Amino acid sequence: MVSKTKRALALVLTAMMAASVLAGCGPNNGGGTQNSAGGENSAASAGGENSAASAGGEDSTASGTGSTASQAEVKDINDPEVKQTIISAMEKEAADNGGEISLVLWCSGDDKPFEKTLVEAFKEEYASDKYEIKVKIVNAYGEDKAGSKVLENPQEAGDVFNMADDQLSQLVTANAIAEVGALFQGNVVANNTEDAVKVCSVNGKSYAFPKTSDNGYFLYYDKRVFKDDEVDNFDEMIKKANENGKSVYYNITGPWYMTGFFFTAGCDITYDVTTDKQVATFNTDQGLSAGKAICHLAESQGKGFEGSPGTVGDNAFVQQGFQEGTLAAAVIGTWMGPVIKEAIGEENVGAAKLPTVLMDGEQKQLDSFGGYKIVGVNAYTKYPISSQVLAYYLTSEDSQIKRYQERGLIPTNTKALEDEKIKNDPALKAIEAQMPYAHPQGVCVGGTYWAVKPETIGSEAYDKKGKLTDDRIKEILQNIVTQLEGE
């Protein structure tokens, strides 16, 4: 029988040899500078509703540190011996850094209170008398901006950061994000949906941990106003809402939501790698059709339709609308599910794919953006192993279930998706129904599309209640395309 001393020594040696399996590849293997960018009380950025996406990995089978993490090689991270190996590796990492593990986590302002509870549980789960774990939670950047902020100065960015998956490819190209260690990737592949694994991969290698599968939008509605078979046509919904002294909300002044009209019309948004430019085919007959459809909705502004959140933002507008009874339905995402349920009662909340819109004289199914939220590890972190452990913990089965319970966000973990309440959530069914009409935001590379203010067509249509001539619509759309071409 192996003595406890020999066993402990063996675990330490194993941990040292396994460091490359635990820590993903980075430019310095953790030799960079750790950050502090912002503080725990930094200004919040909600971020979640403003981004969605797909990084478009080529292969759903990912590798960590150059080796394939096949299902046959998977070792359960929750196995006591595996966990002890991880802790031993963290002890070695702490010893190399003055006896402590000091991490910075970037997350959205909306998520910060919940993420804080997970961080405390993580610190307890991986505690050791040989180190102290410190995690500074920074909510300065939401998921829509985190990737671009990391790119600005990777060496000063968070060790672990939450983001939308459209930002992944640029981070990989810039060597700013670490590959996922083989041990963690084996568990990620085994425990998450195939699509979730794929969007975290680039060229067959994994660079992130999937967190939620619901980074898109659909329709929430009050079942006391609408029957389940009365939410498939925007015009009819607006008419009925108006008859009941309420409104249907769709933010036509927000580019993330407004772009769905152009996808519906057949317009494309692409990225030309040869010229490093974003391309949008809005200055076409299809673009004109989309613009006129937006104007058609705007004509009902104040008469059963609301198309702008004003200065308060989507979340606050929707919350207030359901609380005060002025809204009967809203196009929004899962992050508002708990608030809507609290406002009108869970039994009165319905969810469905987006309704049809009137376009070219016929009703057409409205498209959308859709995607995932993921967690990445900074390639320059001084704590490559501990950062990977934290990222995995934040996206584990238990954490995803808790995130659904507290935040209403839909998991990617296959076992979590079998939870009875999650499986039967109308929001999950709505996301699945909208999926065939959802486009990956990965086509909007580097933020160029958002920077040119594509929402100007919706904003002007809203301000003038749809009273725009065809020539003016064409002029606005040409201006958007010209700005993109000039970037």
> Which pLDDT value is given to residue 155?
94
Question: What local confidence, expressed as pLDDT, does residue 456 receive?
Answer: 95
321 φ, ψ (degrees, to nearest 5): -60, -40
DSSP code, position 100: E
Instruction: Give, in order, the Cα–Cα distances in Å from 290 to each of 217, 250, 436.
Output: 19, 15, 19
What is the reported pLDDT for 25?
64
Q: What is the pLDDT of residues 162-171, one digit of tens each?
A: 999 888 988 9
β strands within 399-463, DSSP E: 438-439
Tally the C-alpha atoms within 13 A of residue 6's C-alpha that lie toward its C-beta: 3
Angle between helices 182-191 and 384-394 (to 10 degrees): 10
Q: Would the CA dihedral through 385, 387, 393, 396 be positive or negative?
A: negative
How many other CB atoms are found less than 10 A from the CB of residue 8? 13
pLDDT at 110: 87
Task: Identify the CATH homologous superfamily for domain 21-214+372-418.
Answer: Periplasmic binding protein-like II (3.40.190.10)
- Which parts of the chain sit beneath pLDDT 70? 1-73, 273, 446, 487
Which candidate, 256, 205, 171, 217, places its Cα nearest to that of 458? 256
Helix, strand, coil shares, percent, the chain, to 5: 45, 15, 35
Residues of the chain with CATH 3.40.190.10: 21-214+372-418, 218-369+431-486
The predicted pLDDT at position 332 comes to: 97
State if pTM tops 0.85. no
**What CATH superfamily is the domain 218-369+431-486?**
Periplasmic binding protein-like II (3.40.190.10)
User: What does the pLDDT look like over 253-301, one tens digit per residue?
Assistant: 999 999 999 999 999 998 776 777 888 999 999 999 999 999 999 999 9
Task: Please spell the DSSP secondary structure of 197-211, one letter per residue.
Answer: HHHTEETTEE--EEE
pLDDT at 58: 35
- Report the pLDDT value the prediction gives residue 280, as an integer from 0 to 100: 94
What was the pLDDT predicted at 355? 98
- Give pLDDT, residue 73: 62
